[in-house]
Amino acid sequence: MSDNVIIEKLDNIEKMLSEQNLLKKEVLNFSEACQYLDISESHLYKLTSRKQVPHFCPQGKKLYFNRLELDKWLQTNRKNTAEEVDREATDYILNNRKR
């Protein structure tokens, strides 16, 4: 096995271990939250300054995030599938026919 392949596999293992550690933590710092959400630092700063993402700022400078609250936030604004929209439209038509 070549050195490059070994290094690549070790990098993959390191990345997977890092991701596992994030899943064990309840409170994430700013850089961990960026990694967890898979967004850039500038985007997360924008979201926090607009108060669009739940966060904590205990001493006025550093930002912290509750991982479970981030999970809930990620699941907001769910979009229905085309099948769900069709079913809702059909139900609406059937239930609101003029008699």
pLDDT digit string, tens, across residues 1-51:
788 888 888 888 877 777 777 778 899 999 999 999 999 999 999 999 999
Residue 59 phi, psi (nearest 5): -120, 15
Instruction: Report the pLDDT averaged over residues 55-77.
Output: 93
Contact 37, 74 (CB under 8 A): yes
pLDDT value of position 31: 93
> Is 9 part of a structural domain of the chain?
no
Q: What is the dihedral of CA 18, 21, 22, 26, to 10 degrees?
A: -160
Task: Determine, yes or no, domain membership for 31.
Answer: yes
Q: Would you say residue 43 lies in a domain?
A: yes
Handedness of CA 53, 56, 61, 63 (dihedral sign): negative
Within a domain: 18: no
Which pLDDT value is given to residue 98? 66
In 3-state terms, what secondary structure has residue 82?
helix
What is the number of domains present in the chain?
1
pLDDT at site 48: 96
Residue 2 resides in a domain? no
> Which two three-digit tokens encode residue 88?
């809702």
Confirm whether 80 is domain-assigned: yes
Residue range(s) defining the domain that contains residue 56: 26-95
